[in-house]
Structure 1
Amino acid sequence: MSYFIQLLTYFRIIAGPIIFVLILISQKYGVALFILLLASASDYWDGFLARKYSLTSVLGAVLDPIADKILITFTVIALSLNLGSIYVAFLGSMILAREYWVSALRDLNAREGNTQATKVTFLAKTKTLIQLVTLCLFLLGLFLGHALTIFVANFFLFLAFIITMQTGLSYTIATFKK
């Protein structure tokens, strides 16, 4: 079972570059959406199964957020380039900057024995869900050629941006609180 759980995480790592190619080179939005949906589901299932069967590991704890960042980074960059939207590029860049900033904070806190400061919160899990829903909406809009879906995705992107910045600020304050 632990092998299967690790495969789910590795799938997300591989899915990011595949989605990037499907969006930018092949313009196979339906296939990219399908892979993103599978990868999004794997984000839930690997953690659920690891906890249910007491198979959590240090490797899993390290790889899971890396897999999320790879998936989201490749997809955000591909969508920003494909859509040619300054709005998507700016908010996407800010979201990615926060993701990497929080990774740096987690690294710092791990070295200083302050892991509670950047412990994953319910709001942070919600943030990841909203980010993934947003990316799926953009791909659905591209697949269907539907401007209204892209409009809704833009709204969700703003919501994801607000929650992402709020959780980043919370982690920053908790890290540097003396």
Structure 2
Amino acid sequence: MWTIPNLVTLFRVVLIPVFVVVYFLDWRWAHEAGAFIFWLAAITDWFDGYLARKLQQSTPFGAFLDPVADKLIVGAALLMITHSYATLWITIPAIALLMREIYVSALREWMGQNNARDSVKVSFIGKAKTTAQMLALIGLLSGLETVAGFPIYWVSLGYILLYIAAVLSVWSMITYTIAAIPYLTSKK
């Protein structure tokens, strides 16, 4: 259980309350620092998977904890941006992303109980959604539009990427559902 990849994943879970507290501090750079902590957590998501493969330390506990850690930190970030921006233009894609995460997790669990989990394994669309979602959240959490007077449009890019992630999210949810239909409708 205490493999290096699992420790990296646990570190990501520990970062969640730190990320939330830092983001809401009454401090000038709190949002930027919170966005950095979120970025660090996003990097550990890639890093723990890489280490598990490279060190051949894949474990059932890690396979369970990794997606849970992802959903917890992304869920927290989505709630935080809906609170910070308080606009329907952020809330609607955030709800779509949260609904997809819960639905696909439940679908994968159900498919796993029916020995058909491979039918709904992570696809390229799902990975593209995750990349767009993470970059969108970093941009929106940071609130940065300029750095040292130079325009960088992080927030504007965050809006665009959030909508791309939402579209990819719905697309992947439909794709996974279609793959699962034979199992969902069987009489077994």
TM-score (norm 2): 0.86
The residue type paired with residue 64 of structure 2 is V
Partners of 1:34 and 1:150 in 2: how far apart?
14
The structure that has the greater radius of gyration is 2
Measure how far apart 1:14 and its partner are.
2.4
The residue type paired with residue 152 of structure 1 is L
Measure how far apart 1:16 and its partner are.
2.6
Partners of 1:99 and 1:166 in 2: how far apart?
12
The residue type paired with residue 135 of structure 1 is L
Measure how far apart 1:15 and its partner are.
2.2
Q: Any idea what the Cα deviations from partners look like across 1:119-154, whole Å, max 9, x if unmatched?
A: 112221221111111111112325859793322211
Map residues 12-161 of structure 1 onto 2, 5 A cutoff.
12-26=12-26, 28-142=30-144, 148-161=153-166
Q: Any idea what the Cα deviations from partners look like across 1:28-61, whole Å, max 9, x if unmatched?
A: 1122122111101100010001011111111111
Higher helix share: 1
Partners of 2:84 and 2:24 in 1: how far apart?
6
* Higher mean C-alpha displacement, 37-46 vs 143-152: 143-152
The residue type paired with residue 8 of structure 1 is V
The residue type paired with residue 69 of structure 2 is A
The residue type paired with residue 23 of structure 1 is Y
Measure how far apart 1:95 and its partner are.
0.4
- What's the RMSD between the two structures over aligned residues? 2.1
**Equivalent residue for 2:181?**
176
Identity, % of aligned positions: 29
Partners of 1:143 and 1:149 in 2: how far apart?
5
**Mapped contact 2:132–2:165 kept (Cα < 8 A):** yes
Q: 1:165 aligns with which of 150, 170, 175?
A: 170
**Mapped contact 1:109–1:115 kept (Cα < 8 A):** yes
Aligned length: 178
TM-score (norm 1): 0.91
**1:144/1:2 Cα in 2 relative to 1: closer, same or farther (>3 Å)?**
farther
SS of 1:177's partner is: helix
Partners of 1:50 and 1:56 in 2: how far apart?
5
Which blocks of at least 5 consecutive residues in structure 2 are unaligned?
A: 184-188
* Higher mean C-alpha displacement, 20-29 vs 91-100: 20-29
Partners of 1:39 and 1:96 in 2: how far apart?
18
The residue type paired with residue 5 of structure 2 is I
Partners of 1:144 and 1:138 in 2: how far apart?
13
**Mapped contact 1:130–1:156 kept (Cα < 8 A):** yes
Partners of 2:20 and 2:170 in 1: how far apart?
25
**1:174/1:2 Cα in 2 relative to 1: closer, same or farther (>3 Å)?**
same
**Mapped contact 2:145–2:152 kept (Cα < 8 A):** no
